[in-house]
Every structure is written in structure tokens, then in C-alpha cells.
């Protein structure tokens, strides 16, 4: 976030219950007002920059709580700022303990020590990459998908994105085709819009709209692109295959028993009864019975040759 008031931002962070000042640079940390005055003094070297306040919150998973100390968190915060290009400027790092998950806040001056502006262009995209890299480097818990995101902490576009994700994903799981999916989403106030290939009726993409805000399906989540939704709708139409269970024949049951005995140990394998059973199975397999009609016909031919007539 960027803002205009160092006073409001600093007070918010330092007046929180159990707030811990982990680190600072370029500031006299004697008291809260001195910190605010120092931030404002440096911003005057670039008076044209209205939003000189930089404010970032870094959060870890609850899964990482036991392995984190205040020193660890401060180390990660400094590495994060370096990789984000937030260097040569004043900053505060403050740990908060008002949530179940470990987290800290960074307040920094977007006017650096040389009076230049620290850019916030593409900050959201850069933030995502840097956080992912740090998470993998340190081996922190990496939550998969959107299911575990704390919806209550979201606002604005992020809150809408997750609302759409939840509602569309549920509808896609129920629908059998695109028409049915559109009906399900219409009931929830979500409009479905298709993107067509220029001059044709070939669909290339899909977007969804709610509260007059429109987002591409792939922008909400990769699983909600047109191609991925289409695959899921096709799968929803396939009948569920049930495994056919058949009762094994008596011969198969006998063979199974023999196999089980032989798998115990070479010493315990021998059994007269099992030997007899195996011999009977082998004999049965070697006999090929003649078809009944053929045998009857052959017997009649032999009787005729002997002069016996019926």
C-alpha cells in the first residue's frame, strides 16, 4: 500500500497491543513522534511525491510459527526489501501478534536518501515473485490453491476474485454443459461472456462479471480458463464406471489356495492334499471334451456299420 500520512501509518503499527519494533534505519527511534518527524523531514527532499508512505505486511503460515523467531522474521523482511528494490531509504519493521499467524509490517519512505522516488510500478507482480522465491528458499509452508486463503481478510478486487472463484468452481462441478453452467451462475448474479475468434463463432475465452466488474476466467484462476472448464464439463458427462466383480470359479479358488501355501516358505509348502488338488487341476486342464452333438453322431455311425438300426 502507498499513502500520504506517516503519522497515521506509524501510529497504527506501533500502538498495536504487543507490537515489537524489530528493526529500523535512518530514524531516531526514541519515541513515536520523533520517528514521524524524521520520515516527514526526508520526504521534503522530493515534495512533488504525494504518496510518500510505503506500507507492506508480510505474513507466514501458522504451520511456520514454531520455527520463526523475531530475528528470523527481521532477516526475511530485510531480504524482501532488497529484492523488491526498497533500498537506501528509511524504514521500520514492526512485528504484530494480534493474529494466529506470524506477521510483520514494513513502513518505508518512498523518497530515498538521495531524494529519488522508489517506484511502485508492477509492485503486486514483483511481490508475488519475491514472496514465492523466499518461501521456497527458506522452506516455509506453501499452501496449495485458493482453498485455505482467509476470505475475511480480503477486500476490494481480491475479495471479489475469491468470491467468483468459490461460486464458479462449485457451479462447474455440478453443470453438464455451458448452457447449464450459465443458468447456475445467473442465479448468483454472475454473467458469463464469451470471447470469439475474429469473424468466426469459435470461442477462444470466457469472462465472468459481477457487481459491474469483469474478469477473465484465467485471471480468476487457471482452472477457470475456457479450455479447463470445457474439459471438466466433458468429464461431468461421462458415466461413472463401476468395477465388475465376479465370483472366482472353484478351480481358481483352489489355485489361489495353492499359491498362498507356496508363498509361505519352501519348508512349509509340501502337503499331500495340495499335491492331489494340483494333480486334479492339471488333469482337468489337459482333457478337451468333445462336443456332445458330435459324439452322438459318431455313435450312430458306428451302430449303422454294425447293421444295427433303430
Q: Residue with C-alpha cell 505486511?
A: 57
Residues 48 and 107 in one domain: yes
User: Which residue blocks in 192-242 are alpha helix, DSSP H?
Assistant: 217-220, 226-237
Answer whether residue 245 is part of any domain.
no
283 — pLDDT class (breaks 50, 70, 90) = low
Q: What domain count does the chain have?
A: 3
Residue 223 has pLDDT above 70, yes or no: yes
pTM higher than 0.95: no
Contact 215, 165 (CB under 8 A): no
Q: Average the pLDDT over each of 242-246, 258-262, 264-268, 299-303 and give the range with the smallest value.
A: 264-268
Q: Is the pLDDT confidence value at 269 over 50? A: no
For residue 52, what pLDDT is reported?
97
| Domain end marker among 237, 259, 275 | 237
pLDDT of 268: 46
pLDDT recorded at residue 7: 96
The pLDDT tens digits of the residues spanning 233-257 come to 999 888 766 555 566 666 677 666 6
Q: Clarify whether residues 7 and 134 are in a common domain.
A: yes
Same structural domain, 66 and 167: no
Is the pLDDT confidence value at 225 over 90? yes
Tell me, yes or no, whether 51 and 10 share the same domain.
yes
pLDDT digits (tens, 9 = 90+) for 108-140: 999 999 999 999 999 889 999 999 999 999 999
pLDDT at position 266:
47
Please check whether residues 48 and 165 belong to one and the same domain: no
- Rounded distance between C-alpha atoms, residue 48 and residue 115, angstroms: 11
Same domain, yes or no: 126 and 25: yes
Q: Which position has the higher pLDDT, 221 or 305? A: 221
Residue 65: pLDDT band with limits 50, 70, 90 = very high
Higher per-residue confidence, 227 vs 309: 227
Check residue 201 and give its pLDDT: 86
Q: Is the pLDDT of residue 217 over 70?
A: yes
Q: Say yes or no: 76 and 178 in one domain.
A: no
Q: Indicate the average pLDDT of the chain.
A: 83
Indicate the helix (H) or strand (E) that contains 299: helix 292-305
Is 70 part of a structural domain of the chain? yes
CA distances from 101 to 127, 148, 240, 279 (A): 19, 13, 42, 70
Residue with grid cell 455451458, as numbered in its chain: 178
Would the pLDDT of 230 be above 60?
A: yes
Residue 146 lies in a domain: no
pLDDT above 70: residue 58:
yes
Using the structure block, give the residue that is written with the C-alpha cell 467468483: 164
pLDDT at 309: 46
Q: Are residues 163 and 212 in the same domain?
A: yes
Do 13 and 123 lie in a common domain?
A: yes
Domain holding 260, by residue range, is 250-303
Q: Are residues 34 and 111 in the same domain?
A: yes
Q: Is 72 exposed, middle or buried (0-12, 13-18, 19+ CB in 10 A)?
A: middle
Cβ-contact 141, 63 below 8 angstroms: yes
Stretch among 40-54, 78-92, 208-222 having the lowest mean pLDDT: 208-222
- Give the CATH number for residue 64: 3.30.930.30
pLDDT in tens, 178-202: 999 999 999 999 999 999 988 888 9
Quote the longest CA-to-CA distance of the chain. Answer: 133
| Whether the predicted pLDDT of 265 surpasses 80 | no
Rounded mean pLDDT, 14-21: 93
Amino acid at each position: 500500500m502507498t499513502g500520504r500520512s506517516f503519522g497515521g501509518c506509524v501510529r497504527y503499527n506501533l500502538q498495536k497491543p504487543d507490537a515489537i519494533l524489530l528493526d529500523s534505519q535512518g530514524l531516531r527511534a526514541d519515541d513515536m513522534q520523533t520517528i514521524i518527524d524524521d520520515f516527514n523531514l526526508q520526504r521534503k527532499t522530493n515534495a512533488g511525491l504525494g504518496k510518500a508512505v510505503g506500507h507492506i505486511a508480510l505474513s507466514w503460515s501458522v504451520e511456520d510459527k514454531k520455527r520463526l523467531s523475531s530475528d528470523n522474521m527481521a532477516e526475511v523482511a530485510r531480504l524482501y526489501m532488497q529484492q523488491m528494490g526498497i533500498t537506501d531509504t528509511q524504514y521500520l519493521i514492526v512485528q504484530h501478534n494480534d493474529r494466529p499467524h506470524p506477521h510483520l509490517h514494513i513502513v518505508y519512505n518512498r523518497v530515498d536518501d538521495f531524494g529519488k522516488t522508489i517506484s511502485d510500478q508492477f509492485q503486486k507482480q514483483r511481490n508475488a515473485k519475491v514472496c514465492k522465491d523466499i518461501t521456497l528458499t527458506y522452506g516455509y509452508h506453501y499452501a496449495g490453491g485458493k482453498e485455505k486463503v482467509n476470505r475475511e481478510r480480503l477486500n476490494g478486487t481480491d475479495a471479489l476474485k475469491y468470491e467468483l472463484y468459490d461460486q464458479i468452481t462449485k457451479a462447474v462441478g455440478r453443470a453438464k454443459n455451458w448452457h447449464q453452467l450459465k443458468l447456475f451462475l445467473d442465479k448468483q448474479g454472475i454473467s458469463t461472456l464469451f470471447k470469439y475468434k475474429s469473424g468466426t463463432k469459435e470461442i477462444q475465452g470466457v469472462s465472468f462479471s459481477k457487481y459491474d466488474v469483469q474478469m477473465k476466467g484465467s485471471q480468476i484462476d487457471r482452472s477457470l480458463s475456457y479450455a479447463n472448464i470445457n474439459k471438466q464439463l466433458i468429464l461431468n458427462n461421462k458415466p461413472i464406471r463401476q468395477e465388475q466383480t465376479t465370483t472366482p470359479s472353484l478351480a481358481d479358488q483352489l489355485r489361489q489356495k495353492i499359491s498362498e501355501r507356496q508363498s509361505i516358505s519352501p519348508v512349509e509348502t509340501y502337503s499331500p492334499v495340495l499335491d492331489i488338488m494340483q494333480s486334479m487341476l492339471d488333469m482337468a486342464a489337459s482333457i478337451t471334451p468333445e462336443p456332445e452333438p458330435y459324439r452322438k453322431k459318431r455313435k450312430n455311425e458306428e451302430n449303422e456299420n454294425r447293421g444295427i438300426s433303430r
